[in-house]
Homo-oligomer: A and B are copies of this chain.
Amino acid sequence: MRVLGVDPGLTRCGVGVVEGVPGRPCRLVHYEVVTSDPDTDLAHRLLNLDERLTALVAEHRPESVAVERVFSQHNVRTVMGTAQAGAVAILVAARAGLPVQTYTPSEVKAAVSGNGSADKAQVTAMVTRLLRLQVAPRPADAADALALAICHVWRGGTRDRIQAALRRAR
C-alpha cells in the first residue's frame, strides 16, 4: 500500500510518501515541504498548495492519504492556517477519488514511537530508523508527514477499506 501523509501548514506543509504493508518496515518513496510566503495573499497560498499537492498525487499515485487532524488547543492563528491547509489536502485527495484518513498527533506518535507524547526529535529519529534512512529527513514537518504515512500503513488502511465499501454501497 502506498500512502501520502500530509502535515498541514500554510507556511510549511510537510508531505511524505511511503510504501509498505502492516507490521513490516516501510519504504520511503518521497518527501518534501511545500512552503509559501506569509506575506502573499491567502488565495495564492492556498492555490499554490492545491497545485503542488495535486501534482504530487499525480506523480506518486498513492492509494490513500493521511492528514494530521487539527487541534483546538493550539494558538488560534496557527489553527486557522492549519485548518485551511488541511482542508486543501483533504480536498485534493477527494478530488482524486482517494480515501482520506485523519490522525491526531498523539495517534501518530504512538504508532511510530510507542509514546503518544514523543517530541519532534524522537519522531524524526524513529522515522529515520523505520525507513532505514542514512540521513534524517529534514525539516521536522517532512518527518511528521512520513510518520503519518507510516502510521496509516500500519493501521492497515482498515478504515479506508470500510469507507470504500460504504462509498460503493451508496
Contact = CB atoms under 8 A, between A and B. Distances in A.
A169 to B, nearest CB: 13
Interface string A85-120: 111101101110001101000000000000000000
A126 B65 CA distance: 45
Contact of A46 (B44, B47, B94, B99): B94
A135 interface: no
A80 B99 CA distance: 21
A87 to B, nearest CB: 4
Contacts of A163: 41
Nearest to A73: B76
A76 B72 contact: yes
A70 B102 CA distance: 22
A105 B41 CA distance: 20
Which 8 interchain pairs have the tightest Cβ spacing? Answer: A84-B87, A83-B83, A47-B94, A43-B94, A72-B76, A87-B87, A43-B100, A46-B91
Interface of A: 41-44, 46-47, 50, 70, 72, 76-77, 79-80, 83-88, 90-91, 93-95, 99-100, 102, 163
Given A46-B91, A79-B79, A83-B83, 4 more contacts: A43-B100, A46-B87, A76-B79, A83-B84
